Amino acid sequence: MNKIVNFLGKPRTIENVIKNRKISWLELFYDLIFAVVFSRLTESLLEHQTLTGFINAILTFFWLIWG
């Protein structure tokens, strides 16, 4: 557990804001892709309420998170 804390670092508090931090277009694009894929995934899961559809949705979700 100590190794994980050392690797990730101490979390910042709300008061400890990074000044002049700008969000890049790549971050915004990734967020957009994540939202669209998650939306399509839930839509697909609603249409295919079977075990196969559920497994497909879970595998796609983990594939998205892994990337």
Question: Where is 52: in which H helix or E strand?
Answer: helix 51-66
Quick check: is 46 in a domain? yes
Question: Does residue 8 belong to any structural domain of this protein?
Answer: no
Residue 11 located in a structural domain: no
| Residue 34 domain flag | yes
- 52 vs 23, 43, 48, 56, 64, CA distance in Å? 38, 15, 8, 6, 18
Q: What is the pLDDT of residue 47?
A: 87
Query: Which residues form the domain of 59?
Result: 21-66
Q: Which residue has the tokens 């796609």?
A: 60
**Residue 42: inside a domain, yes or no?**
yes
32: tokens are: 């957009």
Residue 41 maps to a domain: yes
Domain count, the chain: 1
Its pTM stands at 0.56
Residue 5 lies in a domain: no
Q: Is residue 56 part of a domain?
A: yes
pLDDT in tens, 3-39: 655 666 777 677 767 778 788 899 899 899 889 988 9
**Cβ atoms of 41 and 61 closer than 8 Å:** yes
